[in-house]
């Protein structure tokens, strides 16, 4: 059982080894952005209509100030008060724009890994994992089994990214590439149904960019996650291998 087989898309612990990661995790659903419009006060920033297929990476390119990251904030449900947004965000027969941010099941990967310094590497991975066993209602044996499954998933995740045995490490002792890999696995272990990438490679050096692009794009494609990436780097778009939408200069 791989790290990503341990929990079903709904967050239920699994103990069977008969399912492959592709069978369990491919969402089979497109991410549909319908009549999306982002404004800053009375000034329009962008409008967008598109469909992102399962496993497809759509790249949104453009210079600073055209609303790329603001669009991701709207999709994720934490748009700043200075902006307004409208339009439907459809995934798995649900309009995510009507849901609170924490229930949208969107995985976000940013420029910075944003690991919690007060948690170990394993603690950071555990933080992102589903918690559907109530401490008050679950039997002691059920909680113990769930902890065991979670621990096995964390160890398998670290092994998958070349960091076996790092669960107890302080994240501040990791290299930039190691922190980026842990951040990616934390997102994937949260069982997202789609991914939003906000220039996640921009602060890495050239060799690490190549490594992380391969790691990220291989996994979102394998898991069937529709993915929207915003960037200003053409190399990111080329590596993603999907369609590209170019936004013009700010006006």
Q: For the CA atoms of the chain, what is the radius of gyration?
A: 18
- Token pair, residue 32, equals 């549909």
Phi, psi of 206 (to 5 degrees): -60, -45
Owner of token pair 């920033």: 45
pLDDT of residue 10: 41
Q: Is residue 251 part of a domain?
A: no
Within a domain: residue 4? Answer: no
217 neighbors 58 (Cβ within 8 angstroms): no
Residue 3 lies in a domain: no
| Strand ranges (E), the chain | 31-40, 43-52, 57-61, 83-91, 94-95, 106-109, 194-198, 227-231, 244-246
Within a domain: 6:
no
Helix axes 176-189, 206-222, angle to 10 degrees: 10
Residue 140 has a pLDDT of 54
Q: What is the pLDDT of residues 115-157, one digit of tens each?
A: 999 999 999 999 988 875 444 444 555 566 578 888 999 999 9
**CATH code at 84?**
3.40.50.300
Q: What span, in angstroms and rounded, lies between the C-alpha atoms of 196 and 230?
A: 8
Buried b (16+ CB within 10 A) or exposed e, 216-229: bbebbbebbbbbbb
C-beta of residue 17 within 8 angstroms of C-beta of residue 1? yes
Contact predicate 56/236, CB 8 Å? no
Of 30, 14, 7, 52, which Cα lies nearest the Cα of 191? Answer: 7
Tell whether 15 is covered by a domain.
Answer: no
Q: Where are the alpha helices (DSSP H) in the chain?
A: 21-25, 68-76, 121-128, 140-160, 176-189, 206-222, 234-240
Q: For residue 113, is it within any domain? A: yes
Residues of the chain with pLDDT under 70: 1-28, 132-145, 249-251
Domains of the chain: total: 1
Position 64 scores a pLDDT of 86
Q: Where in the sequence is the domain holding 30, given as residue range(s)?
A: 21-246
The reported pLDDT for the residue numbered 195 is 98
Whether residue 28 lies inside any domain: the answer is: yes
Q: Say which residue the tokens 């990791």 belong to.
A: 174
Q: In the 8-state DSSP scheme, what is residue 72?
A: H
Is 14 inside any structural domain? no
């Amino acid at each position: 059982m791989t790290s990503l087989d341990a929990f079903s898309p709904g967050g239920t612990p699994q103990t069977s080894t008969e399912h492959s990661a592709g069978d369990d995790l491919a969402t089979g659903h497109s991410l549909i952005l319908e009549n999306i419009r982002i404004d800053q006060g009375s000034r329009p920033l962008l409008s967008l209509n598109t469909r992102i297929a399962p496993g497809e990476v759509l790249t949104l390119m453009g210079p600073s100030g055209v609303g790329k990251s603001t669009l991701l904030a709207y999709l994720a449900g934490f748009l700043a008060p200075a902006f307004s947004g409208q339009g439907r965000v459809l995934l798995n027969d649900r309009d995510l724009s009507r849901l609170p941010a924490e229930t949208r099941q969107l995985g976000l990967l940013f420029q910075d890994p944003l690991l919690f310094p007060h948690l170990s590497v394993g603690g950071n991975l555990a933080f992102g994992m589903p918690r559907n066993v109530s401490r008050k209602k679950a039997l002691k044996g059920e909680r113990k089994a769930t902890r065991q499954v979670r621990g096995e998933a964390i160890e398998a995740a670290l092994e998958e990214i070349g960091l076996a045995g790092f669960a107890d490490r302080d994240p501040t002792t990791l290299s930039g590439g190691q922190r980026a890999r842990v951040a990616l696995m934390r997102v994937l272990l949260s069982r997202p149904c789609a991914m939003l990438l906000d220039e996640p490679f921009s602060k890495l050096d050239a060799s690490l960019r190549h490594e992380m692009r391969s790691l990220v794009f291989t996994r979102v494609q394998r898991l069937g996650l529709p993915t929207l990436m915003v960037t200003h780097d053409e190399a990111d778009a080329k590596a993603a291998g999907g369609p590209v939408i170019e936004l013009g200069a700010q006006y």
